[in-house]
Structure 1
Amino acid sequence: MFADLLRRLTADEPERLPEPDAQLALAALMVRVARSDGDYAPAEVDRIDRILIARHSLTPDAARALRAQAEELEAEAPDTVRFTRAIKDAVPLEDRIAVIEALWSVVLADGIRDDEEDGLLRLLANLLGVNDRDSNLARQRAEGRR
């Protein structure tokens, strides 16, 4: 189902993704982060839905549908390093900084911040081309919204 999108994301020279595909790819990255600790908690699912509603002006039903597609895409996507680098090449920087903020929000949704998640977010920020300063500011904004 997502073969064309994955092919475009992993092409040698990926082009910018059209908005619906970029939304889906970035939602899949949020799902990947939420699943990374082996506990895809209801609080994380809810947080992803709320982020999708706010970022894309979706209805709750549309957000749930997009998240469900993102869950499928995430399961089919290549390893995190390749997937994230592909997103970096296909999505503008300002959107990637907003994605880091959204990822921090997902990580913080369960109220627990651990070294593993911090390390993963540092890696993802680097792979997305977002510097440590911007990532820390994004984390602070996400913490302020909890």
Structure 2
Amino acid sequence: MLEKLLARLHLADPPQTPMPPADAQHALGALLVRVAKADKTYLFSEIHEIDHLLADLYALNPVEAARMRAQCEKLEAAMPDTTDLAHILKAGIRETEKEAFVRALWAVARADGVRHASERQVVALASEALGMAPERAEALRETG
């Protein structure tokens, strides 16, 4: 009986989020998700910050940003290596954009109000793969 009701409401088969292309925009989004999940939690404050950053960086409205984040969540789950994501990002951005993207990673790490070593480690791996010196990445944490 419940199955029939769910089928009528079309809740039995929720729509699937498609796998996004492995481009720089989605790689950054996946890295933002990875930072948020690094401490084994994924809080609303982190999701809100990711949506806000994606909207600002790519001129998206709130619905488009949330849709992009959902795609990035799927990409993040499919790509276990943080450095692979960072290399995709590096290949598709200009040198002048690196600092803004590392600042975005730090913004998500700060979003829940708690500093976690696991989040710091993800940002360090990503910034290193982007070719940024660890000292510079740390300095961006303080200025972001």
TM-score band, normalised by shorter chain: 0.7 to 0.9
Q: Which residue of 2 aligns with 1:61?
A: 63
Report deviation, 1:72.
Answer: 1.0
Secondary structure of the 1:40 match is: coil
1:119 to 99, 118, 121: 121
Count how many residue pairs are aligned between Structure 1 and Structure 2: 127
Per the TM alignment, residue 102 of structure 1 is displaced from its structure 2 partner at its CA by 0.3
* Aligned 1:69-108 pairs, distance under 5 A: 69-108=71-110
Q: For structure 1, which segment, 132-141 or 51-60, has the greater mean C-alpha deviation from structure 2 after superposition?
A: 132-141
Give percent identity, aligned residues only. 35
- Which residue of structure 2 lines up, in the alignment, with residue 34 of structure 1? 36
Relative to structure 2, which stretch is displaced further, 71-80 or 133-142? 133-142
Give the 4+ runs in structure 1 shifted more than 4 A. none
Superposed displacement of residue 138, structure 1: 2.1
Measure, in 2, the Cα distance between the counterparts of 1:78 and 1:90: 20
How many Å apart are 1:27 and its aligned residue? 0.7
In 2, distance between residues paired with 1:119 and 1:64? 26
Pair member with larger Rg: 2
Cα distance between partner residues in 2 of 1:56 and 1:45 = 16
Task: Please report the RMSD computed on the Cα atoms of aligned residues, expressed in angstroms.
Answer: 1.9
After TM superposition, give the deviation of residue 88 of structure 1 in Å.
2.3
Letter in 1 for 2:143: R
Structure 1 residue runs without a partner (length 5+): 7-20
Post-superposition offset of 1:120: 2.8
CA apart distance, 1:98: 1.3
After superposing the two structures, state which structure 1 stretch, 48-57 or 132-141, moved more.
132-141
CA distance in 1, matches of 2:68, 2:55: 10
Unaligned runs of 5+ in 2: 1-17
TM value normalised by structure 1:
0.76
CA contact (8 A) 1:93 1:129 kept: no
